[in-house]
Structure 1
Amino acid sequence: MKLKDYFRTHFDNPDILEESFAERPLTLSLDLQKELYQIQSDSDELNMAYFDKVYQKSLTLFEDLFHENDRLYLIVRVRKELHSPPAKSTEIFERYLKNKKNRYALEFEKKDVRDEEEIIYQYARLLPSRKSLRYKKLLQAICNQDFPELYPRFKSRQTYYPVIYFVNPDKDIILYIFDDRGCFILLNEENTFQYLNEKYRLDQSEGFLTEEQ
C-alpha cells in the first residue's frame, strides 16, 4: 500500500501531514525536557546536560512506539521557494539508512504550498523495522538542528531544515519530533490514545509532559 493510500484508509485523510496536529482530537503533545534549559545559567555556553536528557527521552519514546519487529515509514519533507533549484531530499536516506541498496526506491510527491510561493518535496520509504535505520543519530540530528555547534545535524543547504515524520503502519501511530523542545504523536484510535496519554503522564517527573486535550 502506498503512503497516501495508507493515510486515506487509516486516518481518513491522504493529506494528513498538511494539517496542524495540535488541532486534531487524538494527538499527544509532549515536551522532551522541562527542568533544564538549552543554555547554561549566567553563560552563553550550551547546557549539554539538557541535550543529553533530550537525546535520551527522544530515544526512549521512539523505541517505545516502534518495537523491533514493527514496520517503519520514514518520511522526509523539504520546503523550498517555488523558483529555487530542486531540493535534494534524499540526503537523509543516504546518511541514515544502514543498507544503501535501493535507497532511491522512494515514494515521491511534490506539493505547492497554498497561498505561498513555495513548494514541498516529500520522499518516503517503508522500512522492514527500525533496525534498518540509524535512528539514534537521526533523532539527535533532529534535536540539534537549531544549534550549529552540535553534531550530528542536518546540512543547511535549503531555506528550511527537513521535516521528519516516523509512521508505524502496524500500530497506526505518527510521530513528529519537531526539534529539541518536543513532539506530537498522532493516533487514530481512542483506546490507544487514552493508554499512551495515561502512560506518558505518569512519566512527567522524567521529562515527558502532555498538554490537556
Structure 2
Amino acid sequence: MDVAEYLKKRFPSIELVPSIYNQWDIGIHFSLGTEIYQFKENGGLNLERFRVVYKQAFTIFNELFEREDNLLLVTNIYKHKNQKQQTKKLKVYQPFLKCKNALKRIQVRTYPYPFESDEAKDYERQQFSLLCKREDIRMNELLKAACNEDFPLKPKLGEDFIHYPDVFFVNTTKDIIFFVYDDRGCEVIAREADRIRSLYENYYDWVEEVDRKKIEEGLGRPGMK
C-alpha cells in the first residue's frame, strides 16, 4: 500500500510529520507521565516516570489497534542528502520486526526536508513504510523506543541522524493515525469521530485542560465532561 495514495484518499490534508493533531479537526492530544519529573533529585533518571509513560502509550495503542487490523508502519528519517540511502532502514526496522523477510517489503520515498532551516536545501526526509499486522512487530519495544527519544535509554531507533526518527502507526482498517512524539505525549487522529470518542472519555485525565475544547469540538460533543 502506498502511503501517499492512502493519505490522499482518507486524510487529504495530512502530511506525516510531527503535529498531525494540528493538521486535522478530529483528534486527541494526550500528555504522558504528567506530574512525574524525568529526573530524580540526585540527577539520575526517574525510571518510574518512564514505566508510567510506556504503560500509557501501550494502553492507547491497544485501544486503537486490534489483532486483525491492517497496520501501515511509517517511519521518517531526516538526513543529509549525501548520506547513504538504503542502509538506514535496518537500524530503524530490523530490531523490531519478528520476521526479517519483511524488510524486503519495505517501501521508501524521498521528500523535501519539512522543517524551517537555513540549510534545509541540504537535507531531506526519507520515508519508509511497511504494511503488516501488529503481531508482526515487537510493538512494546518499538513504542518504548519512540518514548526514549531524548534520553540514554534502550531501545532506540538509531542515533546517527540529524533528528530522531518519527514513527507513525496508521490503522488503515479503521482510518486512525497514532504518533508518539517522545516521552511527553502522543497524538491520535481519525477520519470519523466515533472511532476515538470512547478513547477520549476513557482517558480524559491524560488530556491537558488547554486541549479539551478543541478536542471536544472535533469529536462533535462540546462539553462532554
Q: What range is the shorter-chain TM-score in?
A: 0.7 to 0.9
Q: How does 1:51-200 map to 2 (within 5 A)?
A: 51-86=50-85, 88-113=88-113, 116-117=120-121, 118-127=123-132, 129-148=133-152, 150-200=153-203
Match in the other structure for 2:223 = none
Q: Which runs of 4+ in 1 moved over 4 A?
A: none
Contact 2:169–2:177 under 8 Å retained in 1: yes
Q: Distance in 2 between matches of 1:69 and 1:112?
A: 34
Change (3 A) 1:20 1:141: closer
| Percent identity for Structure 1 against Structure 2 | 28
Q: How many residues align?
A: 204
C-alpha distance after superposition, 1:12-51 (max 9, x if no partner): 24x52147423221121001111211111x2201111101
Give me the CA root mean square deviation. Answer: 1.9
TM-score of the superposed pair, with normalisation by structure 1: 0.87
Shift of 1:157: 1.3
Give unpaired runs (5+ residues) of structure 1.
none
2:66 maps to amino acid? H
1:104 maps to amino acid? K
- Higher mean alpha-carbon deviation, 94-103 vs 173-182, is at 94-103
Instruction: Name the structure with the higher helix share.
Output: 2
Q: Distance in 1 between matches of 2:75 and 2:90?
A: 8
Q: Distance in 2 between matches of 1:137 and 1:18?
A: 22
Change (3 A) 1:57 1:112: same
Q: Distance in 1 between matches of 2:97 and 2:37?
A: 31
Give unpaired runs (5+ residues) of structure 2.
215-225
C-alpha distance after superposition, 1:80-137 (max 9, x if no partner): 133444361332221101011141221211001266222001010000x211100111
1:169 maps to amino acid? T
Q: Distance in 2 between matches of 1:19 and 1:100?
A: 28
